[in-house]
Amino acid sequence: MVKKILLPTDFSEGARNALPYAAELAKQYNASLYLIHVIYDINQASGLHVPHVNLDQLYSEIESVAKKELERFGLEELRGMNVQREVIRGVPYEEIVKYAEKNQIDLIVIGTHGRKGLEKIFFGSTAEQVLRRAPCAVLTVRLPKKGS
Ligand code: AMP
């Protein structure tokens, strides 16, 4: 029933907190795990074309750092499991939903919290948008309350 589980990560505490849920469910269902990270595409996100000669170089540098970070993400927790990792460029919630459609994902596990700061103000909540548009079941994972 649940054969493919997608865990999108922005490497935040919220995504790390969701990781054991995805890992445990993948074990229980004997499912494959898909880890993706989406690098914001400035052109797409703003709807403006940002001409910048070095933009491609900047993206490829960010991409190589993100790939390394993604390789490390969940290394311990996911040892011995069937895990696919991919770095994608675009608007995070759009790419997460597209990836789920394209790969026939059965379950998305996503943190309710991501990185704080300006991105959130400009782009809105990734978790909320994914929840609204996902083609499959979504498990949202909250951060534990402080002090509990
Ligand atoms: P947010 O709704 O932006 O606070 O982020 C909530 C969750 O969405 C995070 O914990 C991640 O699991 C996921 N997420 C946010 N941004 C990205 C991104 N750029 N790539 C992959 N997953 C993301």
pLDDT for 49-58, tens place per residue?
666 667 788 8
| First and final C-alpha spacing in the chain | 34
Q: Is residue 52 part of a domain?
A: yes
CB 67 within 8 A of CB 40: no
| The ligand 1 atom nearest the CA atom of 14 | 10
For residue 10, being part of any structural domain is answered with: yes
Query: Is residue 100 domain-resident?
Result: yes
CATH assignment of the domain containing 9: 3.40.50.620
Position 148 in a domain: no
What stretch of H or E contains 40? Answer: strand 32-40
pLDDT in tens, 66-99: 999 999 999 999 999 999 999 999 999 999 999 9
A 10 A CB-CB count for 127 gives 24
Question: Which of 110, 119, 141 for a ligand 1 pocket mutation test, highest count of atoms within 8 Å of Cβ?
Answer: 110
Q: Whose CA is nearest to atom 9 of ligand 1?
A: 114
Q: What is this structure's pTM? A: 0.90
Cα–ligand 1 centroid distance for 125 (angstroms): 8
Residue bearing the CA closest to ligand 1, atom 16 = 10
Residue 64 falls inside a structural domain = yes
Distance 54 CA to ligand 1 centre (A): 26
Give domain status of residue 42, yes or no.
yes
Question: Looking at ligand 1, which atom is closest to the CA of residue 36?
Answer: 21
Structural domain boundaries enclosing 78: 4-141
The number of folded domains in the chain is: 1
Say if 21 falls within a structural domain.
yes
74 within domain boundaries: yes
* Tokens standing for residue 53: 């000669």
Tens of pLDDT, residue by residue over 19-64, are: 999 999 999 999 999 999 999 887 776 666 666 667 788 888 999 9
